[in-house]
Structure 1
Amino acid sequence: MIHSPGNVQRPRLQPHNPGLVERIWYGGGSLRSARWAAENGLNLLSGNIVSGEDTDDFTTAQLNLLSEYRRSLGADRTAARVALGRVIVPFDSADAATRARYRDYAASRHERTLKPQTIAALGGKRILFAPDVIGTAEQILEQLAADPVVAQVSELRLELPYEFHREEYAQILHDVRHLIAPELGWNPASPALQEAGR
């Protein structure tokens, strides 16, 4: 609320957009942020970084976060959307040098997934990281099927790694679009999107 002399106003997006709140996502990585998103009627997006609250295990922490979100939802928001982000790097159509680069990239980030990382800039918070999902499309689909968090969400979001080259991103997106997404039930939304993907 905004208080001014003789008046109290509730800020409102102009022009008014009915249903906007059902389309807003909140990226939550802690129990508190998941609870806040639920209490404010927002959809929840959880990625490959979460707070290490009461556990040193990433999967347990993320499942706890999703449970807290659902527990905190109002009775009118039973159909809230929950999305999960994962760094996914397929290399089916990559050449040998690029495959080696992808493996090296994942290996350089793997140690951070083995134990909580304390981040001084975040007040000493304990942060947990998910391992990157890398390999052939078949291996990636197996990893996603074995991830208990994936089974708890309505949407899976592809997160791209940093520091890659444009042609590498194009190859990753191509492999995801043609080899992974269809196996997960994805279909292009329209003929225009199908044409754009060619």
Structure 2
Amino acid sequence: MKKIGFLSFGHWADDRGSQVRSASDVLLQSIDLAVAAEQMGVDGAYYRVHHYARQLASPFPLLAAVGARTTSIEIGTGVIDMRYENPLYMVEDAGSADLISGERLQLGISRGSPEQVIDGWKHFGYQPAEGESPSDMARRHTEVFLRMLDGEGFAQPNPRPMFPNPPGLLRLEPQSPGLKERIWWGAGSNATAIWAAQLGMNLQSSTLKDDETGEPFHIQQAKQIRAYREAWKEAGHARSPRVSVSRSIFALTNDQDRMYFGNGSKDQDQIGFIDQTRSVFGRGYADEPDRLIEQLRRDEAIAEADTLLLTVPNMLGVDYNVHVLESILTHVAPALGWR
């Protein structure tokens, strides 16, 4: 059994063929897709976060709205770029959204990916400390965020407050006590996966990672997951961790599917460079259900993960994306033992 969720990149564009013409469209359709996904038995609704782009940006209003419209589906991000975040304010936002949803948030956070502008976090008021890289700053923000989620008091109360205070140092409010166990780190390398395990975060492994061995992507990703789990065991955490991978997977069941995804253009890994680091981008999967099942059986990282996030073409609209998800749940997941 696997948990199966969708991951929306949240694009919008006023272009021919787009069913998502505005920021309003993408926000409202993101909520509608989560509602429909829950009704068909999908386990998670996850959203990408990008700044300076015609995509979903500030996640917490959307997460809270999805939480208010649904009752059981997990609601998450993949990922929030911690270079841009005030970790204390984020505790308040995340706690509020988690409580609205009935404690269903699964927050993916990370150092983030290259953005649309140069050093965009500077415009948000953040600057690496002396000797820090932007990645170091993201990890520092993360460590502060995790400490604040513990709910310990740290701020000296005003001796003449407007409202009565509880005794002792004050903490951030509202707190959602179980949220810390539902924080995930999006790791692009084996080293950051191990670091996430040491801090007690779950692991999100996406469709790209540092090319550390030259092996096929799914093999490198499976090794990353095993290294993460070993580090988790060595850290002595009491609970079992969760691990997700994301994939573009399309079951070709009608002519529309074949028109959109039947050209085989993404059926091989790709090599590229991100911030001067050689990276491997995992292949997509699109085929008739029987052949698709056989291909997916050979993906070692999917086999290692307990959660699979299906990237969806959100600009094709809610109805088509419901069809995409339903095709996987009906024609693929049962044969692979995911359902």
Structure 2 length as normaliser, TM-score? Answer: 0.45
CA-CA distance at 1:80 after TM superposition: 0.6
CA-CA distance at 1:186 after TM superposition: 5.2
Query: Residues 175, 16 of structure 1: CA spacing in aligned structure 2 closer, same or farther, 3 A cutoff?
Result: same
CA-CA distance at 1:57 after TM superposition: 2.6
Select the residue among 34, 48, 57 that pairs with 2:216: 57
In 1: Cα distance, 2:257 partner to 2:303 partner: 31
In 1: Cα distance, 2:214 partner to 2:171 partner: 40
What pairs up with 1:124-139 in 2 under 5 angstroms? 124-139=276-291
Query: Residues 101, 72 of structure 1: CA spacing in aligned structure 2 closer, same or farther, 3 A cutoff?
Result: same
Pairing 1:86–2:231 present = no
Query: What value does the CA root-mean-square deviation take over the aligned residues?
Result: 2.8
Task: Tell me, yes or no, if the aligned pair for 1:34 and 1:44 is still in contact at 8 Å.
Answer: yes
Q: Which amino acid aligns with 1:88?
A: I
Give the secondary structure class of the aligned counterpart of 1:62. helix
Query: Residues 46, 151 of structure 1: CA spacing in aligned structure 2 closer, same or farther, 3 A cutoff?
Result: same
Q: Which amino acid aligns with 1:9?
A: F
Pairing 1:100–2:259 present = yes
Q: Where does the alignment leave 5 or more consecutive residues of structure 1 unmatched?
A: 2-7, 188-198
CA-CA distance at 1:185 after TM superposition: 4.5
CA-CA distance at 1:67 after TM superposition: 2.2
Give the secondary structure class of the aligned counterpart of 2:212. coil
Counterpart for residue 179 of structure 1 = 331
Deviations 1:21-77 (A, max 9, x none): 222222212112212211111110112111111324312321221122112212125
Query: Residues 26, 160 of structure 1: CA spacing in aligned structure 2 closer, same or farther, 3 A cutoff?
Result: same
Counterpart for residue 196 of structure 1 = none
Structure 1 length as normaliser, TM-score? Answer: 0.73
In 2: Cα distance, 1:12 partner to 1:126 partner: 42
Pairing 1:117–2:262 present = no
Pairing 1:31–2:176 present = no
In 1: Cα distance, 2:213 partner to 2:182 partner: 31
In 2: Cα distance, 1:130 partner to 1:39 partner: 26
In 1: Cα distance, 2:229 partner to 2:176 partner: 26
Give the secondary structure class of the aligned counterpart of 1:76. coil
In 1: Cα distance, 2:318 partner to 2:333 partner: 21
Query: Residues 137, 165 of structure 1: CA spacing in aligned structure 2 closer, same or farther, 3 A cutoff?
Result: same
Pairing 1:9–2:158 present = no
CA-CA distance at 1:165 after TM superposition: 5.0
Counterpart for residue 45 of structure 1 = 204
Deviations 1:55-103 (A, max 9, x none): 24312321221122112212125611111111111111x2x25403312
Q: Which amino acid aligns with 1:118?
A: F
CA-CA distance at 1:134 after TM superposition: 0.9
Q: Which amino acid aligns with 2:250?
A: V
Task: Tell me, yes or no, if the aligned pair for 1:85 and 1:158 is still in contact at 8 Å.
Answer: yes
Task: Tell me, yes or no, if the aligned pair for 1:87 and 1:161 is still in contact at 8 Å.
Answer: no
CA-CA distance at 1:163 after TM superposition: 5.4
Give the secondary structure class of the aligned counterpart of 1:149. helix
Q: Which amino acid aligns with 1:83?
A: S
